[in-house]
A and B are shown apart, each in its own frame.
Chain A
């Protein structure tokens, strides 16, 4: 059974601080997605990483995929209150295109003004 360990599960920081969220597995991902969810809404896709060592940037968010494709990280620079939400990583472990994803436990981020 593939597991995706996401940490930390809760994070409360002040506006302007930096933070990193980690997503780890003992298995290799075919791809990994990061989603952000606000209360009462569905998750919104932020990025997909596919290639080992890949780095993608989305404004103040930087996403990295480990060389071995077993881990990923999300780094937010100069966090703002608008970044508050639940961040989810989700991995595709299958070599066939089933669409099924394994989700991490989620990281609840609170950015205080």
Chain B
């Protein structure tokens, strides 16, 4: 149980285009999903918290107009990187949280999306 998928796994795009990344919890309903960014050999940097049916909460320094988050259902959240530039190239990871349905505050992570902006 607790499987989270992420699509696409890799994407290469031209500067100025927008890229959408999907995160799905496959076998449970996630009250909350989190989006992270990770640089090589570094820890996870939380970008935003996404709750179903409400606006995402962004961490300080993260541009909400650049990183659009939509949490359409209890099993799907999307991150859209708008007008991507080379500095947005990174590994983006989502996680899903079961909330009170789980015994502990555990997050289950997707496999990540490698974004390369040319």
The answer to whether A99 touches B109 (Cβ under 8 A) is no
**B80 at interface by CB-CB < 8 Å:** no
The answer to whether B43 touches A97 (Cβ under 8 A) is no
User: In the complex, how many residues of chain A place their beta carbon closer than 8 angstroms to a beta carbon of chain B?
Assistant: 28
Q: Which A residues are CB-close (under 8 A) to B41?
A: 86, 106, 108
Q: What class of interface size applies to chain B in its complex with A?
A: 20 to 34
**A100 at interface by CB-CB < 8 Å:** yes
The answer to whether B108 touches A45 (Cβ under 8 A) is yes
Rounded to whole angstroms, the CA-CA distance of A58 and B81 in the bound complex is 39
Which of B11-19, B66-74, B99-107 is found at the contact surface with chain A? B99-107
Rounded to whole angstroms, the CA-CA distance of A97 and B114 in the bound complex is 30
The answer to whether A44 touches B105 (Cβ under 8 A) is no
Identify the closest chain B residue to A94 (Cβ).
B105
**A103 at interface by CB-CB < 8 Å:** yes
The listed residue with most B CB atoms (<10 A of its CB), out of A43, A92, A94, is: A43
16 new A-B contacts at CB < 8 Å, known A42-B4, A42-B95, A100-B46: A35-B109, A40-B91, A41-B112, A42-B6, A42-B111, A45-B108, A48-B105, A90-B107, A97-B99, A97-B100, A97-B105, A99-B31, A103-B44, A103-B46, A106-B41, A106-B43
